[in-house]
């Protein structure tokens, strides 16, 4: 559908990721009319690429006519990996649903606004239920590799299978809806092909279009795909309770501009959707009362992504399993997860170089030259191996330790980041590098990093967070403890940009749970005063 059925809705939701999907279902259950506008496409299992070499089906880059679901954004302080499409990041994420440790709930700009750990407990349970979370029953070679490292470090008790949004059962077997008493779609048992992040072609991954959005549509929620909101203007600037005009057009085919009226607005486009849009609306005077803190407190989840490619003659097949099947808690602040892509998905080989860590770029470059001289055969074997994805394990290292950036509209580029905290996010985390070297020795591998990580010293993150954080007032944040935007009535933010501290683990579950809490505080339509 590309045209709204109505001219006015109780709620218009911009974006269909974890925040948008939860909002759509819960508001529909409360009796509201809801429209979701998503700039990406609808995807069915058959639409997903077999490997990430099918760039047109995998990458989102409309300027190149690439209309996939995976987006890479290069900014001056960080490289961001994100998802686009109906279901948002769930289409390409690694299914992993951990609950953060206590520090997440007691730090950052939302500290003290509520007892977050207690308030969110029931909503984390509901999020697990809705997303079909269960403990991974199968440890693949990459998981066992990390388990072996844990044993060597005396941390075997700190290793565990991941809790993931995947339907297991008998591989390839079709099941009637196993989650919602027959109201949901059929599912199939996971085949352990490792291709979760290039889109599940076997109907085993519990993406949002199979739970929250699927159920929301049954209640009348409308979803317009391939369209993008470009302006939101109050109907009455002196009384924003009257609602907003929402203007949108095609994101792929530049169809004629359209407009609708919304009594309430929810921004759910993720950090790279919500924050730039709000910055633009503030700048062009559509929403001038937005907080000056908009774009602040951007966090990278303090991540480091490193790759190790086995050069053993009889290497194990590291594609077997789900995208992330296990987690190792290194210490109270650090976590390590082994990540895999499916067979043939070796595109990232083009974007990596040997990992060299140092404060100065010239030293890192000289270090790469030294490695070329010292270990040319290993580098050649890594680069030209025929079975790159089968031999490669991506190491995702995350920390709860904090560092922040500020996101701004750029003059030359669409967006730019500026240093905010005393310590900017870095692509170099000594603990991560040490672990990568330990793991590399076990499989005769040399750790690799994203080219930008090494040459520019910037991190790569799949979990960009913040920019519209919670706080007690607009001098510190953008939204209040109920996700309401300061300065405007009937306006909310429910996505990764609301995350107000560093979770240190995969954040999708937290975005879901916090949105569940926000929606639980909105009254049923029938209970509103007329």
244 φ/ψ angles, rounded to the nearest 5 degrees: -145, 150
Q: CA 493, CA 519: separation in Å to the nearest integer?
A: 11
Catalytic residue among 123, 128, 329, 463: 463
From CA 163, how far away is CA 97, in angstroms rounded?
Answer: 6
In whole angstroms, what is the distance from residue 351 CA to residue 349 CA? 5
* Phi/psi-derived region of residue 135, left when phi > 0, alpha when psi is between -120 and 50, beta in every other case: beta
Cα dist. 349→231, 307, 385, 454 in Å? 39, 9, 10, 14
First to last CA, the chain: 32
* Spatial separation of the C-alpha atoms in residues 26 and 213, rounded to whole Å: 10
Residues listed for the chain: 530
Q: How far apart are CA 59 and CA 54, in angstroms?
A: 8
Strand partners, 232: 246
Distance, CA of 106 to CA of 129 (rounded, Å): 25
Give the three-state DSSP class for 299: strand
Nearest to 122 by CA among 527, 524, 512: 512
CA distance 267 to 274: 6
Does 227 qualify as catalytic in the annotation? Answer: no
> Is residue 345 a contact partner of residue 51, using CB atoms and an 8 Å limit?
yes
Q: Can you spell out the DSSP letters for 394-405?
A: EEEEEE-----E
Active site positions, annotated: 463
């Amino acid at each position: 559908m590309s045209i709204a059925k109505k001219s006015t809705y109780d709620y218009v939701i911009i974006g269909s990721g974890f925040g948008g999907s939860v909002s759509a279902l819960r508001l529909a259950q409360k009796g509201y009319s809801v429209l979701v506008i998503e700039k990406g496409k609808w995807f069915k299992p058959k639409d997903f690429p077999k490997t990430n070499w099918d760039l047109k089906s995998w990458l989102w880059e409309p300027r190149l006519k690439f209309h996939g679901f995976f987006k890479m954004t290069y900014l001056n302080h960080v490289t961001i990996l994100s998802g686009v499409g109906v279901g948002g990041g769930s289409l390409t994420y690694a299914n992993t649903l951990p609950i953060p440790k206590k520090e997440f709930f007691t730090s950052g700009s939302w500290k003290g606004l509520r007892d977050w750990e207690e308030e969110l407990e029931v909503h984390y349970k509901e999020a697990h239920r809705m997303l079909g979370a269960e403990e991974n029953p199968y440890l693949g070679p990459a998981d066992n590799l990390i388990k072996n490292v844990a044993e060597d470090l005396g941390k075997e008790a700190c290793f565990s299978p991941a809790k993931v949004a995947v339907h297991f059962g008998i591989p390839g077997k079709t099941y009637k809806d196993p989650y919602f008493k027959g109201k949901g779609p059929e599912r199939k048992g996971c085949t352990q092909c490792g291709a979760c992040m290039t889109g599940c072609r076997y109907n085993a991954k519990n993406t949002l279009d199979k739970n929250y959005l699927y159920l929301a549509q049954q209640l009348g929620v409308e979803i317009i795909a391939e369209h993008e909101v470009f302006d939101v203007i109050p109907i009455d600037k002196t009384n924003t309770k009257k609602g907003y005009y929402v203007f949108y057009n095609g994101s792929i085919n530049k169809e004629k501009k359209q407009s609708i009226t919304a009594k309430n607005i929810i921004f759910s486009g993720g950090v790279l959707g919500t924050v730039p849009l709000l910055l633009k609306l503030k700048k062009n005077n559509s929403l001038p009362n937005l907080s000056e803190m908009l774009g602040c407190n951007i966090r990278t989840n303090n991540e480091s992504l490193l790759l190790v490619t086995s050069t053993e003659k009889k290497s194990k097949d590291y594609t077997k399993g789900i995208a992330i099947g296990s987690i190792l808690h290194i210490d109270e602040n650090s976590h390590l997860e082994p990540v895999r892509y499916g067979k043939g998905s070796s595109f990232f080989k083009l974007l990596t170089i040997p990992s060299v860590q140092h404060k100065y770029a010239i030293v890192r470059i000289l270090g790469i030259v030294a490695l070329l001289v010292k270990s040319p055969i290993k580098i050649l074997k890594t680069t030209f191996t025929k079975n790159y994805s089968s031999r490669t394990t991506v190491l995702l290292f995350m920390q709860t330790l904090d560092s922040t950036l500020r996101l701004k509209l750029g003059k030359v580029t669409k967006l730019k980041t500026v240093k905010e905290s005393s310590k900017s996010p870095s692509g170099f985390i000594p603990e991560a590098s040490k672990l990568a070297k330990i793991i590399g020795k076990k499989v005769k591998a040399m750790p690799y990093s994203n080219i930008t990580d090494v040459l520019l010293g910037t991190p790569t993150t799949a979990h960009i967070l913040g920019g519209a954080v919670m706080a007690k007032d607009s001098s510190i944040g953008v939204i209040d403890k109920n996700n309401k935007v300061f300065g405007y009535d009937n306006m909310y933010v429910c996505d990764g940009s609301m995350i107000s501290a560093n979770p240190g683990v995969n954040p999708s579950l937290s975005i879901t749970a916090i949105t569940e809490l926000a929606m639980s505080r909105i009254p049923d339509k029938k209970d509103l005063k007329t």
